[in-house]
Structure 1
Amino acid sequence: MTIINLIPDNYSPYSSLVTKELINTTHNKKVQVLPWTVNDPQEMQKMMDLGGRRNHYR
């Protein structure tokens, strides 16, 4: 099997999988992290504390 050396523009993991290490690794590769689904204010704050920004929050 041939491995394709492709770096995506963004990565969308479930929010509970997002860590500071994941953010640092992906940002170092110029990959935007778009976690889903963040509907809880405390979870949103955690994402913000990790360096995220709010988008489409009710």
Structure 2
Amino acid sequence: MCAIDLGREVRTGRGLTDAGRAARERLRLRAVARFEGGDSNSRLAAALRVSERSVERWRRA
């Protein structure tokens, strides 16, 4: 994936900076721990302030 330098920050084709991707990965790892605890997708999405669709994708991965 190519990075585009926009002056202050570098964005990739997906629109996230390196810091944004790192923050998203930290959320995903928190979700994994809660999957093991038996939380539902809706409860987990609300707790992490993400969409249920994101939680569904993380659970399938």
- Alignment TM-score > 0.5, same fold: no
Q: Name the larger-Rg structure.
A: 2
More helix by share: 2
* Length-normalised TM-score, structure 1: 0.28
Identify the structure with bigger relative contact order (alpha carbons < 8 Å, sequence gap 6+).
Answer: 1
* Length-normalised TM-score, structure 2: 0.28
